[in-house]
Amino acid sequence: MTADLSFAAIALITLTFFLAGIIKGITGMGLPTVAMGVLGLFMPPVAAASLLILPSLVTNIWQLLAGPSFIALLKRLWTMMLAIIIGTLLGASFMAGNSGVWATAALGVALASYAAYTLLAPPFSVPEKIEPWLSPIIGLLTGLMTGATGVFVIPAVPYIQALGFDRENLVQALGLSFTVSTIALAIGLGSHSAFQLQELATSTLAVAPALLGMWAGQIVRRAVSPATFKRWFLICLLLLGLQLALRPLMG
């Protein structure tokens, strides 16, 4: 499949995933979100989602295995992870069956909603007594959003941030959620013939620039304020999401 790609397309994919890797290196997250948003400007979301499978899987497994408490996290969050899988498999039919402007608009709404929420919503915490029944609900909603748009972050990221993890366990918990979402998305798209094994060759193109971007982002992180960078990143993501969401109304 790589032979069918023009030089311009390969350059676009490389630059997009390098940029997404930089943002993940600085903020600790955002690679699939940025990749879906930027590529969504030029191709249907289902094509963008197929491209991000391998780089997302590699970078998130790296993030997952770097943490200290994998087994403990899995025991605590397994119902949420199971619900993410179920929701993603259910939601994938929307993205696989809608490759036009409405799938792009749904992607835009997801990106803009996440950016606006993160910018404006106050921090909150989840009481321990409601976590057992709330986790699978959050997982199901996250899975439906993942399957429909390729975006993994809503509402999983705010929810996991509200569970009271220390920094290392928070990063690992996010890595677990993103890894499960990536695998479920690949299976969901594959079940609708929207992602096939030969497309891994194209997705492989994005792995090296994503890893290189993460390395560069970790260097940049030492020179800039991650909080300030994240604020401006979210503002740009909000504008990008609005542009995608409003595309059907713009002709």
In sequence order, the 6+-apart residues with CB closer than 8 A to the CB of 206 are 13, 14, 16, 17, 35, 51, 52, 54, 55
Place of tokens 């009271």: 164
What torsion do the CA atoms of 19, 24, 30, 35 make, to the nearest 10 degrees? Answer: 30
| pLDDT of 251 higher than 60 | no
For the entire predicted model, the pTM comes to: 0.86
The pLDDT tens digits of the residues spanning 204-215 come to 888 999 999 989
pLDDT at residue 79 in the model = 97
In sequence order, the 6+-apart residues with CB closer than 8 A to the CB of 208 are none
pLDDT at residue 60 in the model = 84
Q: pLDDT band for position 2 (50/70/90)?
A: very low
Question: Is residue 39 a contact partner of residue 202, using CB atoms and an 8 Å limit?
Answer: no
pLDDT at residue 176 in the model = 93
The pLDDT tens digits of the residues spanning 79-98 come to 999 999 999 999 998 888 76
Q: How many whole angstroms separate alpha carbon 63 and alpha carbon 27?
A: 12
| pLDDT of 67 higher than 80 | no
Q: How many whole angstroms separate alpha carbon 240 and alpha carbon 153?
A: 16
Name which of 81, 72, 76 is nearest 136 in CA terms.
81
193 dihedral zone (left: phi>0; alpha: psi -120 to 50; beta): left
Which pair of tokens denotes residue 216? Answer: 């560069």
